[in-house]
Every structure is written in C-alpha cells, then in structure tokens.
Amino acid sequence: MDTTLIYMQKETIERYNMKTNTDNKTEKRMNRFSGESIMLTKEEAIIHDRIFINELSATLEDKELGYGASKLWDKVRADLDWFRQHNAKAYMVLLD
C-alpha cells in the first residue's frame, strides 16, 4: 500500500493508494475573484487548499512580526510553484 503524507502546518493528512487516484478529477475549486472553476484531483485540491490556509496564517503572523516576516510565505511559494509545474491550466484559472 502506498502512503503519501501531505503536511498542513501541524496537521497531517494521510492518503492511501494516491497513485491510483491521481487521475480522477473529483474536486471542484473556484477562483475567489473571477468565480471561474476547475476540477482537480484530490492531491491537487489538498495543495490548493493548503496555499490559502498558509496564506491566511502568514498574513496573521506578519501582523505580529512585520510585513513578509512569516516563514509560511516560503510554503505558499513552493505550493504555487508546484501548481505551475504540474497543472499550469489550473494555476492560470485559480491562482494567477
């Protein structure tokens, strides 16, 4: 059994048999500004959601530490880069 661990700050989401599910686009996500939507795989949806969770947490940390001081911005950028490389179409619809 293949196990992939995806970390969201202090939480861990454990997914089994990720390799067999990676082509199933079952998760709908919507651009918060344009309203345009696209279907994602479960893995892509987790990474998409993690971007916004980390963005919110980084913004809150920045209020205490100063603009751009949160280390979570590195995680946001890494996940944005992942989308650019692995699903450019979804990146353009949801995150650009």
Q: How far apart are CA 3 and CA 65, in angstroms?
A: 36
Q: What is the pLDDT of residue 10?
A: 43
Distance CA 43, CA 4 (A): 10
How sure is the predictor about 22, in pLDDT bands with cuts at 50, 70 and 90? low
CB 54 within 8 A of CB 72: yes
- pLDDT: which is higher, 11 or 73: 73
pLDDT of residue 36: 96
Amino acid code (one letter) for 9? Q
Average pLDDT taken over every residue of the chain: 82
